[in-house]
Structure 1
Amino acid sequence: MKKTILTIVLAILCLIFRLQSQEQDTITGTIYTQDRKPLAGVTIKIMDTDISATTDQNGKFSLVSKTKKGTVIFSYTGYETQSMDYIMGREDKFKIFMRELRSQLQEVEINAGYYTVKERERTGSISRISSQTIEKQPVNNPLQALQGRVPGVAITQQTGLPGGGFSVQIRGRNSITSGNDPLYIVDGVSYPSTNISFNYGGNILGNNGANPLSLLNPYDIETIEVLKDADATAIYGSRGANGVILIKTKKNRTGDSRLNAVFSQGAAAVDRRAELLNTEQYLGMRREAFKNDGLTPTTRDFDVNGTWAADSYTNWQKELIGGAAPMTNAALNLSGSSGKISYLLGGNYYREGTVYPGSFGFNRGGMHSSLDIGSPESPFRASFSTNYSRTNSILPRNDLTQFLALAPNAPDLYDASGNLNWANKTVYINPMALMLRTNKAATDNLIANLNLSYKLWRNLELKGSFGYTTQIREELNKIPLASFAPVNNATAASRVSYFANARNNTWQAEPQLNYSTKLGSGRLEALVGLTFQENRNEMKALEASGFSSDELMENILSAANVLPYQVTYSQYRYTAIFARLNYSLGGKYFMNLTGRRDGSSRFGQDRQFANFGAIGAAWIFSEETLFKENLRFLTFGKLRASYGITGNDQIPDYGYLQLWYSGNSYQGKATVRPNTGRVGNPDFAWETNRKLEAAVQLGFWQDKINLEVSWYRNRSSNQLIGDPLPLSTGSSTITANRPATIENSGLEIGTNFKLINKTNLTWSAAFNMSIPKSRLIAYPGLESSDDAYNYIIGQPLSIRRNYHVNGVNPQTGFYDIEDYDGNGTLDDVDRYRYKFTGQYFFGGIQNSLRYKQFSLDFLFSFVKQNGNNYMSTTTFTPGRWTPETPYGNQLTIVLDRWQQPGDQSQVQRFSTTNSANTIFSDAKNEGGMAIQDASYIRLKNISVSYILPAKLLSAVRIKQASLNIQGQNVLTFSKYKGLDPESLSMLSLPPLRVFSVGLNLTF
């Protein structure tokens, strides 16, 4: 009986267990961010139970349910909590996309250089772009990624050639004669901003030459922060007078090892073409010019006297700059961690050709590494990073763009045999011959940084940053005999090669002590540190001649004569002590004090040190009860203000000393002579820049709309100016401080909108605009200085003093230029008018849309400005041409010219004479005729991407893959007559339109 009962009990227990096992089932799924990246660490919990789980590194989870139906809760810090109902057998596998909380944008850590600060707590003006933004642009220089995206920062690309120069100004021009470049900091190390190329006979890479930032791989960059006001820049002292650009490269990622590969292929081409005269129009212009002058073509007027075919036509824009520059970009990064050690190792390659005919181009290969030791809780931490690149380029020494004005009926570049065509000595300049004059350059770039930190006590930390950068550049410039026209009767002595070597080394050491503690109901943070920096810049160039053949010109040993051409050496030393004190109270009130005492070797012994500092404050008024209860739509509101003084030591090294040069020998002995360009002055001191700013930041409806409006006023005084000296001194100027003051003020507006925020559809937009104002508010002694006819008190520095041109005289057909003082000669006194040549406002409009696995991003940039028009780079008055300088073609707008007495026109009569050419030159160069509205709107960037389905990738063990199509400088809308309203020149290659197709893989 007992045995029977035991059997029944066991059977019942088995049945219950079986029923329970049938009721339990497994719920699985994957959690993603909105851009479809797996999200680790998400908490998943079944409502009203204690059953929970977390996602792994791949965003996957699994948990057992005891009920047939229920509700699953998904929660993760910084993201909206979501819930989903389930019914076993119907919805037991989830794919969830977590939406980021908009309010978390205020919690983003901002890199301020020596410290980090949360976005909501910053008291200074700091703008930021991330790697996600940079990676959506097919750019070869990080500066291109900032264009149109950062308020207050005006960036102009000076040429479309790879590695070329950029002009960068943060909140205007602060100095009349000193440098206005911002300070660049890469991974905590000072990085040069000056030209790294040898300049002989002009530089086709732009006014600023080869740009050092072209040596960096944009894909290696994690963030770029731009520091603008005194509160943000004063801790950098004199180095931050013109703003600071902080570049932080990608670091290690914790978790499992991850391999990321990127490859893209594209092409670049000229976006716009100038409307030049065709052969019929051109010859009509030339014939009319001779008729107006009462002359007939001479035997040397080959273009119009029948020597060159009248029915021949060459589109020189298509022929010379109409090609497609191929582009290849590849990068491979491996990152991960093991215990307290995390690492990153990457390599990259970039190649870009040119739109010129021929095999010119630029390529860059590099490596990037980072090693971190220790966790955030460890007392000792170390971080070491290196970034190395090798850049090789071969480019022509002459920009082919300057030859677009060749006569459209000029002979072909090559004859029937494929040789350079000199057309029986009627061709003085063949662009393809000048392409034999090349510049070959190789540059090694290394950035290394070591950061050490040790917690002495819980709230006290000792840090040390040690950095080193070097750029080593070798250049070879060749001018072979084959590049000269036969009509010039050049000899073997004309073969010249320039061998140049440049080296720029900087080391930097910055020990730092950080302390933080609670103080009352607030928190106090303090830091104090030292900076020691040295820079050495060397340039050695040799001129080699007397080669027996063009083929031997790369071998200096084959030269008969070798002479020093340029030898320079400079050493710059800089030291400083800096401090910061920050106090926050109740998460609402913030005060930030910074100070720095700088010492620079660029000043005389008693002027080497100066003090700089700033104060910044912020009040998050949205945390006040009054606003919380009555303005519920206001999610975030902050007022901030700052004031401070920074300095500027961007002046030449040894400027305070009298420099001497080697002179001619005297009685067989060497002599020296003073530099007659300037006289040494050990008493000149730092320029100072006083910066004031006030701003408001607002967030509405859970930060669906964010707005920041900043007003600033910077006054730079104690200007270093070259004062003229009497001729009896033997020198022309002496550099000295003068109480001249420049004021830059303006308004900056930045907004972003979260228009749609659904699981499968998101749409966000952003808008920024800068309205700068600049004026010279004081310049004692301006009337007697060399700048008397360059600047005007109360007006911007970017003006051009000019004659008053009354247009074209209806009777004579020539420009009517007013002789203001009536002395019968046009001189500086007659330049009593002026025209503005700067920017009235600029900005950008950005949109980002995502639908399921597709995303679209695009940016429109806009600029309202005045700039140089086609006349500024036109060689001759319309109608004139010479074989020695055969740039006689014109834009079609000259067809609206004066033709007969009584005509009203803005283009003077066609003429071939020297007198007409002089009037034309005076009108365009000194009369302001070469300045026009150069405003434009440009589709700066567009990116379309598609994330491949996870099911498709899992079979080949790929975690994530995306395809993308990207474009840069896609479309330009402008009334500007010329090639490009950004570079504003008909003589240099404009920024190119770029399209690329790419693949991004993560393993």
Structure 2
Amino acid sequence: MQQQLQPAESTDSLTVEGTVTSDSADKPLPGVSVLVKGTQNGTTTNEDGHFSLTLSTQKEPVLSFSFIGYETEEIAVDGRRTINVVLKKEVEEMEDIVVVGYGSQRKQDLTGSISSVSATDIHKQSVTSAEEALQGQIAGVQVTKNSGAPGGGSTVRIRGTNSIRAGNNPLYVIDGLPIGGGSSPSQNPLSLINPQDIVSIEVLKDASATAIYGARGANGVIMITTKQGDRGDAQVNVEASYGVNRIRNKLDLMDTPQFVALANEAAANDGADPVFVNSPNSYPNTDWQDEVFRSAPRQNYQLSVSGGSEDTRYALSANLLDEEGLLIGSGYQRGSFRINFDKQVSDKFSIGNNLIVSRARYSLVETGGRGLSGIVNGALQIPSVVPVKDDDDNYVFQTDNTIERDNPVASALEKTNTSKQFKGIGNIFATYMLAEGLEVRVSIGGNLSYDKDNFYAPNSTLQGQQNNSLARVTTRQRFRWVNENTLTYNKEFAGLHDLTLLGGFTLEKVSGENLRGASSGFITDAFTYNNLNAGETPNNPSTGASTSTLASYLGRVNYNFDDRYLLTLTGRIDGSSRFGSGNKYGFFPSGALAWRISEETFMEEQDLFNNLKLRLSYGITGNQEIGNYAALTQLGNSQVTLGDRIAVGINPASLGNKDLQWEKTRQYNIGLDVGLINSRLSLTADAYYKKTTDLLLTRRVPRYTGYSQYLDNIGSTENQGFEVSLETQNILKSTFSWSTSINYSMNQNKVLELADDEPMYVGTPISFAGGQSFRILQEGGSLGTFYGYEYGGVYADQQAVDNSETALASTQPGDPYLKDISGPDGEPDGTIDGNDQTIIGNAFPDFTFGFTNNFFYKGFDLSIFIQGSYGNDVLNMNTLRLESTRGYTNQTTDVLNRWTPDNRNTDIPRATRSRNSAAQTAMRAISSRLIEDGSYLRLKNITLGYTFPVNWGQSLGARSVRLYVSGQNLFTATKYSGYDPDVSTYNNLGNLGADYGTYPKAKTYLMGIKLGF
């Protein structure tokens, strides 16, 4: 802070004026709040950063200067007339300080690849979960929203996918406490955090940054820092927002006249009587999408209080979120509370704590085909001729031709399908300065989760009728405690050498239990799921328990010579209970060098580069995310009926492997950081290569051993890619500013080695697709490849049938066929079988990108965020039902272009209810007809806000007032025919990129207000 002061004569009143500027850009700051402390007397700086304020001199006035993103300054007037102030950028905005594992560093001292998202970027998006704020914001981080359901989880991948059977989720660290990963609503550790409480998110990407977390660092690390208190008077902030979620687009499905024509045409082509004999207008014309989807309100409320004294700081917040889903009956409510506290007990000793607790309730949770996916599929597939209810006000179910489908409206409104979750995370810590530069820190923390899922299907639903009502209750509880002990030494020598040493020891234990009970045959719906004993047919209960431990030793050396040459050496030893007795411990080292070229003497005469740094790193990290007892021989149970009783037997279930060890990822990284024209342009670029070895895969053994396979360390994969981030300050004027940030990422994935050199076939087999897996993993290929047949189209005429070697005697023009490619050199061999399957697509994109523009004009601010993906394919399994042309389920309007004698130039088969085996195989197979281009360009977020002048806020008794409007997912450009191209119905590697009845994502219109007191 700089001040220019001039003495003034002593009077009862005094007019003070001056200019407020920024220390980072040496420019005037308009809109700065200038307030006489302890009063409501104040003003704001004009477009030139100038202010003028008349005040009383009787109480020794103190002026408080505050501005978003800058440190608040308090200055005693002391009779002076002119006060010029330079405000400093807030450290909390993480522009200068970056959180790393077990500490923090100046951004200019980083040697590893670490990217940040600031609180400003997070709050602009009005997201409900922290991982949503990462999508498109950071190069090298791909976030896929698995479902548009409120509170739904996301899949997060940092620099590609490494593992086949072990986990690929990053490690999450919240306020220094590692809490694991997960992406389902019940596992996602970020679902308990209100994004408005977050100060910054750091993503640790290369081995130099992640090796400090050893066996859990292979998939990257995401570090969340929540708001801390600050010294000064208590500040109260209130925020409220209200919005509406609306469906982004509906699928074009047949109406009743179109469906009646299709069904009757299918019957006629089979020589059968018409299905519908009356006029199409005499049947219902139900739009099932309109019946199950709605405009849904969303409201969010936040209250926070922070402040402190010279030796004590505190920050408290409470949040309430209530979001109804697009799908009737679905919703998400979350209440959370956070308290962060720290106290400087003495010059050497300090203590503190961080605590977050959250309570959430999900309505209509994902439960496979009978959950949200089942309801969405029902709305798509039930023909419009089926009404929601009959004349007696009873729900109508589709039961045609062995098809039994629950009424989606009944499923959504009549079934109870909820999940209640309680989560808590917190730690207490103490630091003590043993000597100058030598500090010890001890922390004890933990996170607890308790989930209870309740399900009840009454007789008003088809599922309830089939079971005479069905009830199910599932509970899960999980507790993790962590003890971390670190010793940090920092010393500067001779003004040239800066050395920081870190050493530590940590202990961790995770335990979990689950219980599931179910019953059916209820004579009344009065008890729902609350009295399983009331069911006539109880199901066998199931229980489970597991535990794992981790003991670790860690160390890091940071050396800085003359702010030019930087060295980081890191090592961690992890001992895990999850691995074999011969491989309990693993060592994970890394090293990194950086050269700040801009600090060299030969750069002194130039003024183009204010920052130019080259980074190199190499290291090894591990992946321990497998089952807790995978290394052990496990027992299982089986049941057999002997006479009139059930006998239970205990039998070996899996073969152990005492030599089982970690998956290891070796990563090389080269990076370049560039700042031009006083950081008006900042660029960061990284190229990397990762090789993961010792993959945890199954190896076959002879069946006479009593087993068929066991888990072993075999196989390897690689990921290599390039990332670039660019930030520009395009216009910096006192009244108008415009900044831009762009990020671009590309990653290439390859399988290098598999067990016994044999391909692996993965992906959930689909019953109506013949149980065919749709992904193949083979050496030289990608983990994202789709595997199936090449769809040939339809036989245009009889000549095409006669010329086909694979057509059957019953084949007719208009029937579909698959390409015969299994002969020599891809030539036909006259047979369609499994050998004709091939690579038909890839779920991984060629590249992803994000593009943000921020504008500021006087009190107005505007943010526009565009995000996209290019080159990824989507397996649209909805097509198997919606383009079957059989007349049993509803169809897309594309089927209007089906084959007829007068419309032969098409690839959509003729209408028929019965097909020969070849045609049936072609329609049910996983084939290229299901593969669609999933590339998209999306207007992800646009926010317009206005911050009122201080004197306007004072009339409300407020320190600051801001109004804003926001829109999310307003526009998406894509060729994909489904609800959304950013989709992954099944959250696992084998089913990545598949879409089957996925809950659509909403476009959101929202407005809100922020008040500061």
Residue by residue over 1:304-343, the C-alpha shift from the partner in whole angstroms, topping out at 9 and shown as x without a partner, is 454985554222222212x012111111111111231111
Displacement of 1:709 in angstroms is 1.0
Displacement of 1:252 in angstroms is 0.8
Residue by residue over 1:901-959, the C-alpha shift from the partner in whole angstroms, topping out at 9 and shown as x without a partner, is 9934332333222437x646546743222112111111111111111221122233210
485, 504, 524: which one aligns with 1:511 = 485
Identify the residue that residue 422 of structure 2 maps to in structure 1: 444
SS of 2:314's equivalent in the other structure is: strand
Identify the residue that residue 792 of structure 1 maps to in structure 2: 778
Identify the residue that residue 263 of structure 2 maps to in structure 1: 286
> Does residue 245 of structure 2 align to residue 268 of structure 1?
yes
872, 892, 897: which one aligns with 1:866 = 872
Q: Give the Cα–Cα distance (whole angstroms) in 1 for the partners of residues 785 and 874 of structure 2.
A: 12
> Does residue 634 of structure 2 align to residue 634 of structure 1?
no
Displacement of 1:569 in angstroms is 0.9
Q: Give the Cα–Cα distance (whole angstroms) in 2 for the partners of residues 688 and 744 of structure 1.
A: 13
Residue by residue over 1:54-78, the C-alpha shift from the partner in whole angstroms, topping out at 9 and shown as x without a partner, is 84365676758999xxx87433445
Identify the residue that residue 804 of structure 2 maps to in structure 1: none
Between 979-988 and 560-569, the greater mean CA deviation after superposition: 560-569
Structure 2 counterpart of 1:569, one-letter code: A
Structure 1 counterpart of 2:450, one-letter code: I
Structure 1 counterpart of 2:121, one-letter code: T
Length, aligned pairs only: 922
Structure 2 counterpart of 1:317, one-letter code: Q
SS of 2:871's equivalent in the other structure is: strand
Identify the residue that residue 662 of structure 2 maps to in structure 1: 686
Residue by residue over 1:385-431, the C-alpha shift from the partner in whole angstroms, topping out at 9 and shown as x without a partner, is 11111112322653222123335432321245544245999985322
The 8 Å contact of residues 312 and 343 in structure 2, kept in 1 or not, is answered as yes
Displacement of 1:843 in angstroms is 1.1
Identity %: 29
Displacement of 1:752 in angstroms is 0.7
Structure 2 counterpart of 1:227, one-letter code: L
Identify the residue that residue 934 of structure 2 maps to in structure 1: 934
Identify the residue that residue 460 of structure 2 maps to in structure 1: 482
In structure 1, the gaps of 5 or more residues are 1-18, 47-51, 80-99, 198-208, 883-887
The 8 Å contact of residues 170 and 221 in structure 2, kept in 1 or not, is answered as yes
Structure 2 counterpart of 1:504, one-letter code: R
Displacement of 1:440 in angstroms is 2.0
Q: Give the Cα–Cα distance (whole angstroms) in 1 for the partners of residues 78 and 1010 of structure 2.
A: 36
Q: CA RMSD in A?
A: 3.3
Q: Give the Cα–Cα distance (whole angstroms) in 1 for the partners of residues 569 and 623 of structure 2.
A: 20
Identify the residue that residue 987 of structure 2 maps to in structure 1: none
SS of 1:213's equivalent in the other structure is: helix
Structure 1 counterpart of 2:165, one-letter code: T
SS of 2:639's equivalent in the other structure is: coil
847, 850, 854: which one aligns with 1:848 = 854
Identify the residue that residue 837 of structure 2 maps to in structure 1: 831
Q: Say if 1:701 and 1:480 are closer, same or farther in 2 by CA, change over 3 A.
A: same
Identify the residue that residue 176 of structure 1 maps to in structure 2: 164
Q: Say if 1:526 and 1:924 are closer, same or farther in 2 by CA, change over 3 A.
A: farther
Q: Give the Cα–Cα distance (whole angstroms) in 1 for the partners of residues 95 and 123 of structure 2.
A: 23
The residue correspondences of 1:512-527 to structure 2 (distance < 5 A) are 512-519=486-493, 521-527=496-502
Q: Give the Cα–Cα distance (whole angstroms) in 2 for the partners of residues 310 and 210 of structure 1.
A: 50
Structure 2 counterpart of 1:357, one-letter code: I
379, 383, 399: which one aligns with 2:348 = 379
Identify the residue that residue 16 of structure 2 maps to in structure 1: 27
Residue by residue over 1:632-663, the C-alpha shift from the partner in whole angstroms, topping out at 9 and shown as x without a partner, is 21121111011000111111110011221223
The 8 Å contact of residues 491 and 500 in structure 2, kept in 1 or not, is answered as yes
The residue correspondences of 1:3-152 to structure 2 (distance < 5 A) are 26-28=15-17, 31=20, 34=29, 36=31, 38=33, 55-56=63-64, 73-77=84-88, 108-152=96-140
Q: Say if 1:973 and 1:434 are closer, same or farther in 2 by CA, change over 3 A.
A: same
> Does residue 432 of structure 2 align to residue 454 of structure 1?
yes
Q: Say if 1:347 and 1:293 are closer, same or farther in 2 by CA, change over 3 A.
A: same
Q: Say if 1:494 and 1:309 are closer, same or farther in 2 by CA, change over 3 A.
A: farther
Q: Which has the larger radius of gyration?
A: 1
Between 435-444 and 866-875, the greater mean CA deviation after superposition: 866-875
Displacement of 1:766 in angstroms is 0.5
338, 349, 352: which one aligns with 2:320 = 349
> Does residue 363 of structure 2 align to residue 390 of structure 1?
no
The 8 Å contact of residues 688 and 720 in structure 2, kept in 1 or not, is answered as yes
The 8 Å contact of residues 105 and 119 in structure 1, kept in 2 or not, is answered as no
Structure 2 counterpart of 1:166, one-letter code: S
Q: Give the Cα–Cα distance (whole angstroms) in 2 for the partners of residues 125 and 263 of structure 1.
A: 37
Identify the residue that residue 587 of structure 1 maps to in structure 2: 563
Residue by residue over 1:236-288, the C-alpha shift from the partner in whole angstroms, topping out at 9 and shown as x without a partner, is 00111100111111111221110111111111121122222233333333333
The residue correspondences of 1:242-321 to structure 2 (distance < 5 A) are 242-297=219-274, 301=275, 304-306=276-278, 312-321=284-293
Structure 2 counterpart of 1:440, one-letter code: T
User: TM-score, normalization: structure 1?
Assistant: 0.86
The 8 Å contact of residues 574 and 599 in structure 1, kept in 2 or not, is answered as yes
Q: Give the Cα–Cα distance (whole angstroms) in 2 for the partners of residues 284 and 157 of structure 1.
A: 38
Q: Give the Cα–Cα distance (whole angstroms) in 2 for the partners of residues 873 and 901 of structure 1.
A: 24
Displacement of 1:175 in angstroms is 0.8
The 8 Å contact of residues 236 and 304 in structure 2, kept in 1 or not, is answered as yes
Identify the residue that residue 8 of structure 1 maps to in structure 2: none
Q: Say if 1:424 and 1:196 are closer, same or farther in 2 by CA, change over 3 A.
A: closer
The residue correspondences of 1:976-987 to structure 2 (distance < 5 A) are 976-983=976-983, 985-987=995-997
Structure 2 counterpart of 1:895, one-letter code: L
The 8 Å contact of residues 386 and 446 in structure 1, kept in 2 or not, is answered as yes
Q: Give the Cα–Cα distance (whole angstroms) in 1 for the partners of residues 399 and 561 of structure 2.
A: 85
Identify the residue that residue 994 of structure 1 maps to in structure 2: 1004
Residue by residue over 1:688-745, the C-alpha shift from the partner in whole angstroms, topping out at 9 and shown as x without a partner, is 100111011111111111111110111001111112334444433211111x221101
Q: Say if 1:824 and 1:858 are closer, same or farther in 2 by CA, change over 3 A.
A: same
Q: Say if 1:241 and 1:148 are closer, same or farther in 2 by CA, change over 3 A.
A: same
The 8 Å contact of residues 464 and 510 in structure 1, kept in 2 or not, is answered as yes
Q: Give the Cα–Cα distance (whole angstroms) in 2 for the partners of residues 127 and 424 of structure 1.
A: 55
Residue by residue over 1:448-487, the C-alpha shift from the partner in whole angstroms, topping out at 9 and shown as x without a partner, is 11121100000111011211100011121112222128xx
Structure 2 counterpart of 1:398, one-letter code: G
Q: Give the Cα–Cα distance (whole angstroms) in 2 for the partners of residues 757 and 318 of structure 1.
A: 49
Q: Give the Cα–Cα distance (whole angstroms) in 2 for the partners of residues 754 and 248 of structure 1.
A: 26
Q: Say if 1:454 and 1:553 are closer, same or farther in 2 by CA, change over 3 A.
A: same
Q: Give the Cα–Cα distance (whole angstroms) in 2 for the partners of residues 562 and 307 of structure 1.
A: 48
User: TM-score, normalization: structure 2?
Assistant: 0.85
SS of 2:253's equivalent in the other structure is: coil
449, 469, 489: which one aligns with 2:447 = 469
Q: Say if 1:723 and 1:32 are closer, same or farther in 2 by CA, change over 3 A.
A: same
Identify the residue that residue 913 of structure 1 maps to in structure 2: 914
Structure 1 counterpart of 2:1000, one-letter code: P
Structure 1 counterpart of 2:602, one-letter code: L
Displacement of 1:185 in angstroms is 1.0
SS of 1:133's equivalent in the other structure is: helix
667, 672, 676: which one aligns with 1:696 = 672
Structure 2 counterpart of 1:522, one-letter code: H
SS of 2:364's equivalent in the other structure is: strand
> Does residue 785 of structure 2 align to residue 783 of structure 1?
no
SS of 1:173's equivalent in the other structure is: coil
